[in-house]
Amino acid sequence: MTKVDILKLFKDMQTQMESTLALGRSSISHPGEMGEAAEESWRSWLRKYLPRRYCVDKAFVIDSEGNRSDQIDIVIYDGQYSYFVFKHEQVIYIPAESVYAVIEVKQNLNKAHIDYAGEKAASVRQLKRTSVEIPFVGGIYRPKPLHKIIAGIITIESDWKDPLGDTLKKNLKGLDEDHSIEFGCAIKHGSFWAQYSPQFRVHRSTADESLLFFFLELLKSIQTIGTVPAIDINEYAKVLPKGCSLHFKALTGVKSPDVIYWQITNTGDEARVANCLRGDFENPMKDLMGRRNLPQSTSYTGSHSVQCFVIKRGACVAKSKDYIINIR
């Protein structure tokens, strides 16, 4: 049996990432463009190697009361059970319930950048999150307790003489719970993972294993969180603006359903004039039929509804609540 040197694979990936970041640093003179290039390099790398159930984007995080976080360089969020993600004029808005981790990307690791990353993390953690019951064929799953959203910082190198030593520990230990930074990577010097309880400790990697340590600790932490809470869509659907994209997903415990029906009902003068009141089940040959995913847009003002029906052997065996979407 032929064996694979996993450590060597990660070291090769690290060398490639260092080269990509160094090229951007040397060829781009504008600080803003240099930062955006580094951010996109990390987002692309994480999209490539994280399991597909996790999505990676630059985004704002929002809650059901309309509050919004600072813009986050990297948001790792649920790609399997997130009922919707808002996209408005090329800007992405992610419900707070769906977020696993937030990461700030900088060129250098230092106190100012750790504090800045902490402020970004707090802007997400202080948002309201909902959690509701999940009906399934055998009963009801109770609302999932809210997890802590983990936060990190990624840089090329550390500004300190002892790159990940006592100065780093001092700055991490001084952060409160909302501003805490759990992990970081200074790819030239190593990575760290901070444990805040029951006793504060900082675990560090060597420089040549910085990417391996960073990735495996990140993956282990988000896998430990498990499934994100089920969003209370009615809280989000109280009022939405026109021009947003919505994405609904049907989650069911029914094994191998024959078809999934979506019923969309519009109200109001705008939908009436456009002859788009709808309300009936779509024809089985149309795109909306038989799909677990339902892309929609907030095109008309008024109070609208979305409901999902699961069909097996000619009978409706499960259905969702009637979700009300109010558009101003």
Phi-psi region of 290 (alpha: psi -120 to 50; beta: other; left: phi over 0): left
Q: Are 157 and 187 in contact (CB under 8 A)?
A: yes
- The tokens of 209 are what? 């294993």
Q: Are 304 and 324 in contact (CB under 8 A)?
A: yes
How many of the other CB atoms lie within 10 Å of CB of 200? 11
* Candidate list 63, 73, 182, 232, residue with the active-site label: 73
Q: Where are the beta strands (DSSP E) in the chain?
A: 54-62, 72-78, 86-88, 91-95, 99-105, 108-109, 134-136, 139-141, 150-155, 157-158, 183-186, 190-195, 201-204, 245-249, 259-265, 278-281, 293-297, 302-312, 315-319, 323-327
Is position 106 annotated as part of the catalytic site? yes
Residue 301 DSSP symbol: -
Is position 73 annotated as part of the catalytic site? yes
* Candidate list 63, 97, 106, 232, residue with the active-site label: 106
Instruction: Answer whether the bond into residue 198 is a cis peptide, omega within 30°.
Output: yes
Beta bridge partners of 303: 326
Is position 159 annotated as part of the catalytic site? no
* Candidate list 39, 78, 97, 104, residue with the active-site label: 104
Do strands 245-249 and 293-297 pair parallel, antiparallel, or not at all (unpaired)?
antiparallel
Catalytic residues: 73, 104, 106
